C-alpha cells in the first residue's frame, strides 16, 4: 500500500494523523478524539488509529478522499488488505498448517480495520444524517445466549448491533491451556517472589496480564483473601485470592519489593528503572526468558489464565460463577472453556458407551 506521506502521532490531546495530506482526513482526528471522550481504552484508540491510517494511506495512493468512498471502494480496500504482505514476515512460500500464508494479514486484523472504518463513517452519519454510510449492514451480532432475552433481568441485556456483511470469515479457536506438568514446570522456573506472585495470580486467580500490572497495594486484601480487579472496559470485580498466592505476595511485600513512591503492587527491582511500575513490555520479557529456560513454548501469560478457566470447567463450576471470576462481559466467551473439559467429556463418553454395551 502507498504510504501517502501520512503517519500517526500521539499528542497531549490524543492520537492524530500527521504529515503531508493529513488535512484531507481531519475526520479521522475528530473520530479518535470522540473515542477518547467516550472512555475507550487507549490501546483501542491507538489500534483504530493505525487501522484508519492504513485506510487513509490507501485512499491517498488511489487519489481519493473520504467523501468519495462507497461500497465498491471498500471492497477494493479489503482486497488490497488481503493481498498486502506484512513487513518482516517470511516470504510467500511459508504457510501455516491451515494453508494460510504467513506473510498475509490475518482475517481478524482485516475485520478490525473494517470495524474502524465502519465506526468512522457511523460517526460521520451521526454528525450529518445526510451523509450515507458506505458500510453495508448484515445480520445482528449475537450478544446474548439462548434464553437470555427473557426473564427478570432481560431489560439489562445489551442491545445487539449489526455486523457488516463485508466481514471475513475467521476461525474460532479454543483457548490453549497448559497441562498440569507444564504449568508446574513453568512456575518452578520463577525464582523471585515477585515473578512467582505474578504467575500465581494468573494461574490460580485467572487474572489477565494487564489486570495483574494494574493492581495496587490497596487492591490486595491478604487477610481477607480478596482482590479488587479492574478489567476490560474499566469493569471492576472482586476475585478470591488463593491462599498460597497470598503468602507469596506477603513475602514479596516484606522482603523484596523496593522502596518506591508508586502505589502499584509489582515494581521493577533492578536496573535504571528500579522503583518504577512493571510494564507490559517488562512482563513479556520475563515470560520470554522463562519460556526459554523451562522449554515450555506455550508458556505465555494468557495460557496461565486459560489453564485456570479450564480447571474451573473440569471441576464443574457453574458457568455464571466462571464468568464472574474471569471477568467476561458475555457468557459466550466463558462457554468456550466448557469445550475444554476433556476429563469430564471422556467420563461422560465412557459412561454412555458402557450403557450402550450393557443393553441386551
Q: Where in the chain is the domain with CATH 1.10.443.10?
A: 180-307
Average pLDDT over residues 209-220: 95
Asked whether the predicted pLDDT for residue 353 surpasses 90, the reply is no
Which range has the worst mean pLDDT, 36-45, 173-182, 184-193?
Answer: 173-182
| The three three-digit cell numbers of residue 220, written as one number | 490486595
Which range has the worst mean pLDDT, 93-97, 241-245, 254-258, 298-302?
Answer: 93-97
The pair phi, psi for residue 237, each rounded to 5°, is: -150, 155
What residues contact 35, with CB distance under 8 A and at least 6 apart? Answer: 44, 45, 48, 119
Supply the CATH classification number for the domain 180-307: 1.10.443.10
Place of cell 481504552: 41
Tell me how crowded residue 326 is: count the other CB atoms within 10 A of its CB.
22
Mean pLDDT (the chain, rounded): 85
Look up the pTM and report it.
0.71
Supply the CATH classification number for the domain 6-148+156-164: 1.10.150.130
Alpha carbon 275 to its chain's center: 28
Asked whether the predicted pLDDT for residue 153 surpasses 60, the reply is no
Asked whether the predicted pLDDT for residue 16 surpasses 80, the reply is yes
Asked whether the predicted pLDDT for residue 23 surpasses 50, the reply is yes
Which range has the worst mean pLDDT, 83-97, 152-166, 286-300?
Answer: 152-166
pLDDT, tens digit, for every residue of 47-71? 999 999 999 999 999 999 999 999 9
More confident call, 230 vs 234: 230
Asked whether the predicted pLDDT for residue 1 surpasses 80, the reply is no
Average pLDDT over residues 79-103: 72
pLDDT confidence bin for 138, thresholds 50/70/90: low
Position 96 scores a pLDDT of: 61
User: What share of the chain has pLDDT > 90, as a percent?
Assistant: 56
Position 85 scores a pLDDT of: 83
Q: Where in the chain is the domain with CATH 1.10.150.130?
A: 6-148+156-164
Asked whether the predicted pLDDT for residue 146 surpasses 60, the reply is no
Position 264 scores a pLDDT of: 95
Dist. CA 93–CA 102, nearest whole Å: 9
Which range has the worst mean pLDDT, 37-51, 169-183, 290-304, 321-335?
Answer: 169-183
Average pLDDT over residues 136-163: 51
Asked whether the predicted pLDDT for residue 145 surpasses 50, the reply is no
More confident call, 149 vs 15: 15
What residues contact 329, with CB distance under 8 A and at least 6 apart? Answer: 232, 233, 235
More confident call, 213 vs 93: 213
pLDDT confidence bin for 141, thresholds 50/70/90: very low
Amino acid at each position: 500500500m502507498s504510504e501517502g506521506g501520512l503517519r500517526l502521532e500521539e499528542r497531549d490531546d490524543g492520537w492524530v494523523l500527521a504529515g503531508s495530506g493529513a488535512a484531507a482526513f481531519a475526520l479521522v482526528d475528530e473520530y479518535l478524539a470522540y473515542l477518547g471522550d467516550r472512555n475507550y481504552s487507549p490501546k483501542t484508540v491507538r489500534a483504530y488509529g493505525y487501522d484508519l491510517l492504513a485506510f487513509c494511506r490507501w485512499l491517498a495512493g488511489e487519489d481519493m478522499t473520504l467523501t468519495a468512498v462507497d461500497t465498491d471502494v471498500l471492497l477494493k480496500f479489503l482486497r488490497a488488505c488481503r493481498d498486502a504482505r506484512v513487513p518482516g514476515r517470511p516470504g510467500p512460500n511459508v504457510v501455516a498448517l491451515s494453508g494460510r500464508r504467513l506473510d498475509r494479514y490475518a482475517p481478524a486484523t482485516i475485520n478490525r480495520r473494517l470495524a474502524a472504518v465502519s465506526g468512522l463513517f457511523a460517526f460521520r452519519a451521526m454528525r450529518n444524517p445526510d451523509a450515507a454510510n458506505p458500510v453495508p449492514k448484515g445480520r445482528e451480532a449475537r450478544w446474548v445466549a439462548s434464553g437470555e432475552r427473557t426473564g427478570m433481568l432481560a431489560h439489562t441485556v445489551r442491545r445487539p448491533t449489526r455486523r457488516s456483511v463485508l466481514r471475513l470469515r475467521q476461525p474460532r479457536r479454543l483457548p490453549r491451556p497448559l497441562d498440569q506438568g507444564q504449568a508446574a514446570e513453568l512456575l518452578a522456573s520463577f525464582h523471585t517472589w515477585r515473578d512467582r506472585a505474578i504467575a500465581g495470580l494468573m494461574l490460580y486467580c485467572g487474572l489477565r496480564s494487564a489486570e495483574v500490572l494494574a493492581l495496587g497495594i490497596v487492591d490486595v486484601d491478604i487477610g481477607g483473601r480478596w482482590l479488587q480487579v479492574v478489567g476490560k472496559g474499566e469493569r471492576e470485580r472482586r476475585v478470591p485470592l488463593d491462599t498460597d498466592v497470598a503468602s507469596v505476595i506477603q513475602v514479596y511485600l516484606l522482603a523484596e519489593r523496593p522502596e518506591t513512591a508508586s502505589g502499584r503492587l509489582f515494581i521493577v527491582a533492578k536496573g535504571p528503572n528500579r522503583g518504577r511500575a512493571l510494564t507490559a513490555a517488562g512482563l513479556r520479557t520475563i515470560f520470554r526468558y522463562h519460556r526459554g529456560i523451562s522449554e515450555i513454548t506455550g508458556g505465555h501469560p494468557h495460557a496461565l489464565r486459560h489453564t485456570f478457566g479450564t480447571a474451573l470447567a473440569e471441576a464443574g463450576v457453574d458457568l455464571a460463577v466462571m464468568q464472574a471470576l474471569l471477568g467476561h462481559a458475555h457468557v459466550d466467551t466463558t462457554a468456550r472453556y466448557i469445550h475444554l473439559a476433556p476429563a469430564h467429556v471422556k467420563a461422560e463418553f465412557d459412561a454412555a458407551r458402557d450403557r450402550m454395551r450393557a443393553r441386551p
